[in-house]
């Protein structure tokens, strides 16, 4: 299977996110201009649940923008 160049960068970004772990599933983040709770990190997308919708952000977009990770509230 041959992917267009943007897919390669998304896959490489997904590998980088998986290995560097700047955030994990259940973290609240602002990534790619979207704020929400991380529900999945795939090879192509980081998936956030926001108040209004489920958002699929291409991993290369996540890596080329500021990632803000919010601290967990302690009970």
- The confidence score (pLDDT) of residue 29 equals 96
The C-alpha angle with vertex 7 and arms to 67 and 68, in degrees rounded to 5, equals: 5
Q: Which domains does the chain carry?
A: 5-69 (2.30.30.60)
The pTM of the full predicted model, rounded to 2 decimals, is 0.81
Over residues 16-72, the pLDDT tens digits come to 888 888 999 999 999 988 999 999 999 899 999 999 999 999 998 998 888 999 987
Is residue 30 within a helix (H) or strand (E), and if so which, with residue range?
A: strand 28-31
Residue 47 CA from chain centroid, whole number: 6
- pLDDT bin (cut points 50, 70, 90) of residue 11 is confident
């Amino acid at each position: 299977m041959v992917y267009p160049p943007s897919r390669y960068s998304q896959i490489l970004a997904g590998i980088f996110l998986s290995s560097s772990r700047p955030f994990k599933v259940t973290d609240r983040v602002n990534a790619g201009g979207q704020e929400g709770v991380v529900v999945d990190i795939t090879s192509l997308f980081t998936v956030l649940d926001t108040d209004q919708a489920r958002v699929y952000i291409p991993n290369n977009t996540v890596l080329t923008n500021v990632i803000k990770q919010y601290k967990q509230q302690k009970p």
